[in-house]
Homo-oligomer: A and B are copies of this chain.
Amino acid sequence: MLSWVDGQPAELLSVKDRGLAYGDGLFETIAVRAGQPTLLNRHMTRLAEGCTRLKIPIDLPFVCAQVQAFSQQLGEGVAKLILTRGDGQRGYAPPQPAQPRLILQAGAKPVYPSAYAEQGVRLFACATRLAEQPLLAGLKHLNRLEQVLARSEWRDAEHAEGLMLDTSGRVIEGVYSNLMLARAGVLVTADLSRCGVAGVMRAELLAYAAAQGVECQVRDIRYAELLAADEVLLCNSVYGVWPVHALQAHTWPVGPLTRKLQAFARDLLDC
């Protein structure tokens, strides 16, 4: 499978990389259609924001050019980008200056049952909670053991995704998706200033909904509010939008706002 390290075809990297040692880096998962990366501006903006917060120097024009060239070779599928702080010596102190490493890996476009998008998905209720760490919240960094633990909680295909709460019990997101709900025509998604990953599709949907005149609220969500919602949906930059129809004994109908956002996401991802 296609794989580049710092612009060269390579399937190996140094054992000294700080991405391995400490998860000291960031990643993006980019859907590629007809040789073009989708939502590139959003992905690059989030990556740059992550680099600013983690103080990892980034050559953004180089990274953009690499993603475009890689996508052209890939054609169709998913490009996973990993940017690490590069090699380090022993110890947590970041090297000065750091020489970041860019890794691009190709994957096939994932095939999900068509029922996920059509009838909606059932959420698994994850026992794994998200810890509250404002310094890392929102970033798509490489410290993902919480997601690994959460995704290990179920193996059946009946559950497409898992619901994650934070350690205080707020509704945050899916394991690999953001979550939104609609109530009385208002679109609500979790404030991600304590934990969670601020997804690029989430940002796209919020901007689109606002432009359509839909009131959008980014704020804390109580569990009871989730249950009382008119519509619930999941989104990410690879599959777009899935309605949520069930969580344990609770069910929701698939509503018109969800279908509208789903159509918009399909256009964005050309799928």
Contacts and interface: CB of A to CB of B under 8 A. Distances in A.
A12 to B, nearest CB: 4
Interface of A: 3, 5, 10-24, 27, 29, 54-55, 78, 80, 82, 84-85, 89-94, 96, 103, 105, 107, 110, 128-129, 131-133, 135-136, 141-152, 155, 167, 175-176
Contacts of A148: 18, 22, 24, 54, 85, 92, 94
Contact of A15 (B21, B89, B105, B136): B105
Contact of A145 (B10, B54, B105, B175): B54
B91 A23 contact: no
Contact of A133 (B3, B27, B146): B146
Nearest to A93: B151
A3 B22 contact: no
B15 A144 contact: no
Which of A92, A135, A155 has the most chain B CB atoms inside 10 A of its CB? A92
B143 A92 contact: no
A133 B24 CA distance: 19
Nearest to A22: B144
A29 B91 CA distance: 10
Contacts of A11: 14-16
B5 A15 contact: yes
Contact of A19 (B12, B20, B89, B149): B20
